[in-house]
Amino acid sequence: MKKDAVDEILEQWTEERPELDTASLGVVIRVMTLYKAFYGQAASALAPLGLEVFEYDVMSALRRQGAPFALAASRLATETGMSGGAMTNRIDRLEKRGLVSRARDANDRRGVTVSLTPQGRTVINKAIQLRLDAADKGLIGIGARERKQLAALLRKIVLTNR
């Protein structure tokens, strides 16, 4: 099998400190490297739509809810892993572009509900296909069965690191 830059790093550590088991570091460095590459691929895929990855994340969370494509702003922040302040800024940007709208929550005077606009639904429906195409391209070196295996292993790691 062809070696990558991480193999060289691990070999150097093994030479300097042969008593260390560096296998876990090999996994972590590769995942971190892939994050950077995949993020760049996602950003490039979304660029033709004028979307940033974080804007996609917000719109995607709304779209996945199904009709009426709306969530309380606080829940939207939770769904996307953002703070309330960061979410407010994201909503402001998307609202200025006509991709989302916000309204007072009928059940909570202090709450705000964020909804995709018809234009927002059109954009996110295009964006998801672009994201899927980019993800497929990023995983071109492995087959469907390997993708499922990798997803299962990564899920296991994610669940144990919460």
Q: Is residue 118 part of a domain?
A: yes
Instruction: Determine how many CB atoms are found less than 10 A away from the CB of residue 10.
Output: 18
* Number of domains within the chain: 1
Ordered DSSP codes for 65-97: T-TT-EEEHHHHHHHHT--HHHHHHHHHHHHHT
Residue 40: HSE in the Cβ half-sphere, 13 Å Cα cutoff: 7
Dihedral over Cα of 79, 81, 87, 93: its sign: negative
Q: Is residue 110 part of a domain?
A: yes
Q: Is residue 87 part of a domain?
A: yes
The angle at the Cα of 99, spanning 67 to 85, to the nearest 5 degrees, equals 95
Q: Is residue 10 part of a domain?
A: no
* SS3 state of residue 141: coil
The pLDDT of residue 105: 75
The pLDDT of residue 138: 93
Q: Is residue 129 part of a domain?
A: no
User: Amino acid identity, residue 128?
Assistant: I
Which strand (E) or helix (H) includes residue 52? Answer: none
Whether residue 119 is predicted with pLDDT greater than 90 in this model: the reply is: yes
Q: What would the pLDDT profile of 21-70 be if each residue is shown by its tens digit?
A: 999 999 999 999 999 999 999 999 999 999 999 999 999 999 999 999 99
Work out the mean pLDDT of the chain and round it to a whole number. Answer: 93
Q: What would the pLDDT profile of 59-73 be if each residue is shown by its tens digit?
A: 999 999 999 999 988
Q: Is residue 133 part of a domain?
A: no
Q: What is the pTM of this model?
A: 0.85
Whether residue 87 is predicted with pLDDT greater than 90 in this model: the reply is: no
Number of separate helices (H) and strands (E) present in the chain: 7, 3
The pLDDT of residue 109: 73
The CATH number assigned to the domain holding 74 equals 1.10.10.10
Q: Is residue 4 part of a domain?
A: no
Domain ranges, residue 112: 52-122
Q: Is residue 73 part of a domain?
A: yes
